[in-house]
Chain A
Amino acid sequence: MSLLQSLSQRDRVFDFMAPQASPVDVRHGPILYMEDVTVSFDGFKAINNLNLTINDGELRCIIGPNGAGKTTMMDIITGKTRPTSGSVWFGSRHNLLHMNEPDIASLGIGRKFQKPTVFEALSVFENLELAMAADKRIFPTLTARMTGEIKDRIDDVLETIGLTALRHQPAGILSHGQKQWLEIGMLLMQRPRLLLVDEPVAGMTEQEMERTAELLTGLAGKQSVVVVEHDMGFVRSIARQVTVLHQGSVLAEGTMDQVSSDPKVIEVYLGADDEEAA
């Protein structure tokens, strides 16, 4: 942002004076606020006056038909896309719209992509090593040593995601489900406060889905987790709070039962799906 703009803003200190690694302030409850966020691409509003609040430690599912703006919403939170207007705060101290992707990542927002992207040429262990929260500048990275403490942490995460036996295998040979878990493991290595998980069970078998559901519900409480998912059965099995997006804004919010009995929701999304299921 320009200097002039930052000087004229009276509600915050200057960017260059703000402490770099100030902790995330969640005393007021929410870890993520999105207020009146709008994104338009050449006039098309991918996100339209979106308001969303995620509480600390919450597991939230976000559903919505294709083109509802789910992925764009994630892009905004992680700094990949800049909204046309609105504000996005992480805790009550960090304005995410003033930060770039690496800064946001090091602040504690981790994202799992729709398509699993792990580093295929590196081993499972090395994938986790790179993801670990650490000093990520050049020279500390060059001279980094593998300590017992780091090894223990990687071992813990390997245990959590169930890939201990495959630790020295290149990630390229993992199955689709295993890659998804490795990616979740990589997120955990970052010790994130907020996990954004995009379609974690797409293309998974029943057993893999169950395993993923256990993994995600086990994480909530320690971390806040936002899951974007199409699979209604899966959402029903993990969700406490569900937000329905439609045409770039929130259509309904509540428990799965409340949401699925909402007539507006049935009309745009769930109706067709439930009929098919029934």
Chain B
Amino acid sequence: MSLTTESSTNFWLTRPFSERSTQIFLGVLLAALALVTILHVAVPPDNPLHVGAYTVNLFGKYLSYALLAVAVDLVWGYLGILSLGHGAFFAIGGYAMGMYLMRQIGDRGTYGHPVLPDFMVFLNWDSLPWFWHGFDMAWFAFAMVLLAPGLLALVFGFLAFRSRVTGVYLSIITQALTFALMLAFFRNEMGFGGNNGLTDFREIVGFDLRSDATRLGLFLVTGVALALGYILCRAIVTSKLGRVSVATRDAEARTRFLGYRVERFQLFVFVVSAMLAGLAGALYVPQVGIINPSEFSPIFSIEIVLWVALGGRATLYGAVIGAILVNYAKTIFTGVMPDAWLFALGAMFVLVTVFLPKGVAGLFRYLKRRKRDDSANPDHQQTSKEASA
């Protein structure tokens, strides 16, 4: 916690690079990206070490979940806002990407219409709804990936924080938000493909989505996005604004008396987090090939919170570990015995809560502190033995 004095004289965005935890995180992430790439490209397919396109794709999906978990940890861990609706921002980012990918299909759809996506032809629509315009341009769609969730978070957060809605009430409202959006997106009249969602994507900025090279590319782009998102969040939490967030989390009224307009800080962090969640959704959609309203389901949003809790709150890297760990376990379990998955998730959550109340990251911190204590005070164990005797 004492990094204030030594490292904070430099520029806020470069500050995280002087932190040991960030260096380790980025090192491990880049090494993992390089390793997967090498094992996929350079190792022949008949070698047992070869990583197949399917696995690369799966890892890419985990990385987008990890970015989503980082976004949730930013608001929950550091600002104390337990959002049970972050899936909504993830899904909206995903829909923005999905709309772009739909427009890229062009006249190669089943009905061969030059402009309208298949589902609109099927519904007998004769023109594109106004909000679908512009999504044929990559720059516009990619801007919307950030702006659409950001705008929703801005309006929602403005109303909630201005009325000083926090704690459990805010969690319930975020849950209601994502549920309402799910119901809305299920309707065909909304113009987002109803319960089938958007699918049958073909290419992204000219690259064939079904080719292995594109999948590897998407995996690497997601990894870089995770690294950048992590650095941005670290830069925020190590700045004075990050300390104001922690202060707000622990004693909101007190922070207000210090002269900080707490609701604006909450809004700022919430919007940044929503945009990161949107980015994660946009990277997720081309890798799984579909976006439908189930991403808005309240269960999914709760699951995200579980990843963060398992990995360890308020560490950011804990969120990444949690997201990857839980989803890896999910892949294995739903493959081996699909019915047991929910029980396994529940058991994992109970075990971590009981034995690792601060998550996996808490275990790291504990081990590190013990090592430091032992090296600083070699006869520590002996003294404590004497004391207990």
Q: Name A residues whose Cβ lies closer than 8 Å to a Cβ of B.
A: 78, 101-102, 105-106, 111, 113, 117-123, 125-126, 129-131, 133, 136-138, 141-147, 151, 168, 170, 186, 190
Contacts and interface: CB of A to CB of B under 8 A. Distances in A.
Contacts of A190: 258-259
Contact of A138 (B2, B257, B265): B265
B313 to A, nearest CB: 12
A186 B243 CA distance: 15
Contacts of B243: 119, 122, 126, 129-130
A105 B253 CA distance: 12
A145 B11 CA distance: 8
Interface in B223-282: 236, 239-241, 243-244, 246-247, 249-251, 253-261, 264-265, 268
B382 interface: no
B244 A130 contact: yes
A117 B247 CA distance: 10
18 contacts: A102-B256, A105-B259, A117-B254, A118-B251, A119-B250, A120-B250, A122-B243, A130-B240, A130-B258, A136-B258, A136-B261, A141-B239, A141-B240, A142-B12, A142-B239, A142-B241, A146-B9, A190-B259
Interface of B: 1-2, 4-5, 8-10, 12, 236, 239-241, 243-244, 246-247, 249-251, 253-261, 264-265, 268
A113 B254 CA distance: 9
Contacts of A106: 259
Given A117-B254, A121-B246, A144-B239, A102 B259 contact: yes
Given A101-B256, A122-B247, A186-B258, A138 B268 contact: yes
Contacts of B253: 117
B9 A145 contact: yes
A23 to B, nearest CB: 17
Contacts of A113: 254
Which of A78, A120, A130 has the most chain B CB atoms inside 10 A of its CB? A130
Which of B1, B2, B258, B268 has the most chain A CB atoms inside 10 A of its CB? B258
Contacts of A101: 256-257
B179 to A, nearest CB: 31
Contacts of B2: 123, 125, 168
A146 B259 contact: no
A168 B9 contact: no
A138 B249 CA distance: 16
B376 to A, nearest CB: 15
A78 B257 CA distance: 8
A6 B236 CA distance: 40
A144 B238 CA distance: 11
Which of B9, B239, B253, B259 has the most chain A CB atoms inside 10 A of its CB? B259
Contacts of A144: 12, 239-241
Contacts of B264: 137-138
Contacts of A151: 5
Contacts of B268: 138
A30 to B, nearest CB: 23
B1 A146 contact: no
Given A126-B1, A138-B264, A142-B239, A105 B257 contact: yes
Given A141-B244, A142-B241, 4 more contacts: A121-B1, A130-B240, A138-B241, A143-B12
B256 A121 contact: no
B4 A170 contact: no
A209 B53 CA distance: 71
Contacts of A120: 250
B258 A125 contact: no
A66 to B, nearest CB: 22
